[in-house]
Amino acid sequence: MNRVPWWVWVSVLGCAAASLVSLAARHKMEDSNRAVGLMMEMLDIEAMAAATGIDRATALKELKEHGLTGVAITEDTIGDLVRKGRLVLETDGSALVIRAVGDLGSRWVKPGTPEPRFIGSQYQRDLYHLDRVAKALSRRGFYDLGAVNVPYGVRYPTSISVDRDSSLDVSAVLVGIDPRAAYEAKEAGLVVVARHFNEVGSNERTIVGSLRDSSLAGATAYLIGGDQAIGNRILIAATEETLSALKMTYLSPEFVALGGDTYLRNKLRAQTLRLHSINQLEAETMSQSELDERFAKAYRERSVRWLLLRPTSKASRNVLDQASETLMSIGDAVRAAGGEVKEPHPFVDPNVSPWLIGAIAALAFPAVLWTIFAAFGNNWFSYVSGFIALGITGASFVGEYREYASLMIAILMPVLGYLVIASMERGRRYPVVAYILMSAVSLVGGLAVGGMMVGIEYTLRVSAFSGVKLAMFLPVLIVGWIVLKQQGPIRETLSRPVTWAAATVTILGLVVIALLALRSGNENPSAVSSLELQIRSLLDNLLHVRPRSKEVAFGHPALAIALCLMAYRPNLRGWAALLLLAGMVGQTSIVNTMCHLHTPVLLSLARIGVGLALGGIIGALVWVVARRLMPAEKTAE
């Protein structure tokens, strides 16, 4: 095979340099935003406060001292307020009457008094709930705020009547978050997150009014309540516009499909943060170390900035102390992972120039073109492919087409890495050098993907690299084609009889590739065995970052053994070719690691380095054992 021309190396190095400039901007964005918020539901906090015999405000302050950063307040219904004893719902002839509990009391709420709704007698403190009900019913057309009559010195209506003959289910009407609860959370120094539901019959008035009331109450963030965003789906634009006008941060939960979430993430990129939550059942079945690891990974590996916690047990001598210990432990784990436990803020887009993105593709083009002709020969297919590659490179200067160029580079750089090794007659005597060189060329493909796909939309997973599967397996097929051609004319090779050993190895190889296909992807749906989970956890604890399983258990060791066979057992070149082909899985995995665009760039590079080192060591150890078992053979000169 022809040697790689010098200008191809210039192309590879130029592509790598331009990619690193772009990735440096992405790293700056990631490194400047390391704050992580620890959040709990107000409903959980209220239950813990009641169980320990203290009031809600005291519980909030205690949890704040142990690391709590924010509290999610779910909006109430009229039925919730009745069940809590804040209001009474009764019938009066043809009307349903909603009123506060008890007598008026001796003190009255003076208009203009700071936080007047939270002082006075219990009756007076409950009157503001009627104000919430009045606003909610008014927005739905069932109440006229202009007709409200209140006693002298009282700020809120003392009773509300609704026609019993209407189709309205009064108890199900949403009245927004509790302003008093929000006030106590703000007094404790916590971030208030409003949770709103998308009730049947939501309209612009209810959407805008609910979010505005939450903002006035002190909420600075919004988290979807239930399974869809308020306003989804016809009026979701009203939600987006209101959140934008109020400058409320949108918290997007990961690993769950919620109606309207993708739309809001896309439209509110500059004020969106990702959130990782854990349900009550999971919290009660996981050990503290497992919880720490899970939440720390969410921050470290997936750019999550809010963590929603649940009580780890409903049965405890003191559930509040238990929650405080959990908060402190998770906070320590986040700090150990490089984060800071405090109120997080949205990412600032690095705004990488389209010219730099286009330059990455343009600098890679000579190497891409040479790889096409070296792999497929001087024929019409190569000329057509080269012409298409030229068009894709030119289109990369336009933002929406950059993914095609990054996919092209991701596919062909690992192929180029193989061609480099295949052309190194003298270099085959140095397996370590060949191993490093081939992996470095593949890495450039990953750097190009990471460098071209830079933007806050990738950090938030609004957009993702959609060519992961092709970049993972197409290079393996191309190299397989090249290896097949190297055995001689294709027709003659295919007409040769197949041995049982070759057939068995081929079948096993196909099975392995099929398993890798099922397990690849950013969100793998296939089950992972408990043994592998234990090994992963062990590697996480022993190493700076856990390498990818397919690399250390299959790809990199196979490549190392193949290169050793090429150097010291040239008579086994058939087996070397098969192992080299298997080693391509590790090479494409290098690229694939950089395709996880929501993972911090330094962590991805560290994962690649650890995988190469550990996989190479495993391969070398296997080679040492296998060489002793092989029949004596003169070392190739």
Please give the average per-residue pLDDT across 490-510, as a whole number: 62
pLDDT band for 601, please (50, 70, 90 cuts).
Answer: very high
pLDDT band for 326, please (50, 70, 90 cuts).
Answer: very high
pLDDT in the model for residue 627: 84
Task: Kindly state whether residues 154 and 215 are assigned to the same domain.
Answer: no
In a domain, 40, yes or no: yes
pLDDT band for 525, please (50, 70, 90 cuts).
Answer: very low
pLDDT band for 107, please (50, 70, 90 cuts).
Answer: very low
pLDDT beyond 80 at 492: no
C-beta separation of 594 from 567 below 8 A:
no
For residues 346 and 353, give the distance between their C-alpha atoms in angstroms, rounded to a whole number.
21
Task: Kindly state whether residues 195 and 146 are assigned to the same domain.
Answer: no
Task: Kindly state whether residues 252 and 374 are assigned to the same domain.
Answer: no
Per residue in 27-71, pLDDT tens?
999 999 999 999 999 999 999 999 999 999 999 999 999 999 999
Which residues, in sequence order, are CB contacts of 632 under 8 Å at separation 6+?
none
Please give the average per-residue pLDDT across 434-440, as a whole number: 94
Which residues, in sequence order, are CB contacts of 194 under 8 Å at separation 6+?
72, 73, 75, 176, 177, 211, 214, 217, 219, 221, 222, 223, 248
pLDDT band for 114, please (50, 70, 90 cuts).
Answer: very low
Count CB neighbours of 624 within 10 A.
10
Measuring CA to CA, how many Å separate 337 from each of 18, 36, 185, 606?
29, 11, 28, 14
Please give the average per-residue pLDDT across 385-411, as a whole number: 92
The CATH number given to whatever domain includes residue 227 is: 3.20.20.150
Task: Kindly state whether residues 541 and 482 are assigned to the same domain.
Answer: yes
Residue with the bigger pLDDT between 202 and 527: it is 202
Task: Kindly state whether residues 397 and 506 are assigned to the same domain.
Answer: yes
Please give the average per-residue pLDDT across 264-273, as a whole number: 95
pLDDT band for 299, please (50, 70, 90 cuts).
Answer: very high
Q: Where are the beta strands (DSSP E) in 174-237?
A: 174-176, 191-196, 219-224
Which residues, in sequence order, are CB contacts of 143 under 8 Å at separation 6+?
134, 137, 160, 162
Task: Kindly state whether residues 467 and 513 are assigned to the same domain.
Answer: yes
- Given 140, 172, 204, the domain boundary residue is 172
C-alpha atoms less than 13 angstroms from C-alpha of 582 in its C-beta half-sphere:
28
Measuring CA to CA, how many Å separate 97 from each of 76, 124, 134, 482, 632?
18, 18, 12, 82, 98
Structure tokens at 111: 């208009």
Please give the average per-residue pLDDT across 168-173, as a whole number: 85
pLDDT beyond 80 at 541: no
pLDDT in the model for residue 302: 92
Indicate the helix (H) or strand (E) that contains 95.
strand 95-100
Structure tokens at 495: 């007409």
In a domain, 241, yes or no: yes
Task: Kindly state whether residues 436 and 505 are assigned to the same domain.
Answer: yes
Task: Kindly state whether residues 291 and 216 are assigned to the same domain.
Answer: yes
In a domain, 635, yes or no: no
Q: What percent of the chain clears pLDDT 70, i.e. is strictly above it?
A: 83
pLDDT in the model for residue 464: 86
Task: Kindly state whether residues 51 and 89 are assigned to the same domain.
Answer: no
Which residues, in sequence order, are CB contacts of 129 under 8 Å at separation 6+?
81, 86, 87, 100, 175
Task: Kindly state whether residues 184 and 153 are assigned to the same domain.
Answer: no
In a domain, 634, yes or no: no
pLDDT beyond 70 at 481: yes
pLDDT band for 386, please (50, 70, 90 cuts).
Answer: very high
pLDDT in the model for residue 523: 46
Phi, psi of 172 (to 5 degrees): -90, -5
- Give me the residues paired with residue 341 across strands: 36
pLDDT in the model for residue 533: 59
User: In 3D, which of 173, 494, 152 has the Cα closest to residue 160?
Assistant: 173
Measuring CA to CA, how many Å separate 585 from each of 140, 406, 591, 613?
60, 19, 10, 16
- Given 172, 189, 210, the domain boundary residue is 172
Measuring CA to CA, how many Å separate 555 from each of 157, 403, 480, 516, 551?
72, 26, 15, 11, 5
C-beta separation of 186 from 218 below 8 A:
yes
pLDDT in the model for residue 280: 85
pLDDT in the model for residue 364: 97
Please give the average per-residue pLDDT across 79-101, as a whole number: 85
In a domain, 147, yes or no: yes
Q: What percent of the chain clears pLDDT 90, i.e. is strictly above it?
A: 57
Q: Could you give the number of structural domains in the chain?
A: 3
pLDDT in the model for residue 497: 66
pLDDT in the model for residue 119: 42
- Given 341, 372, 395, the domain boundary residue is 341
DSSP state of 465: -
For residues 590 and 305, give the distance between their C-alpha atoms in angstroms, rounded to a whole number.
26
Task: Kindly state whether residues 160 and 146 are assigned to the same domain.
Answer: yes
* Window from 110-114, 156-160, 200-204 with minimum mean pLDDT: 110-114
Task: Kindly state whether residues 456 and 548 are assigned to the same domain.
Answer: yes
pLDDT beyond 90 at 413: yes
pLDDT beyond 60 at 116: no
pLDDT beyond 90 at 614: yes
Averaged confidence pLDDT in the chain:
85
For residues 439 and 422, give the distance between their C-alpha atoms in angstroms, rounded to a whole number.
14
Q: Which domain does 307 fall in, by range?
A: 35-75+180-341
In a domain, 1, yes or no: no
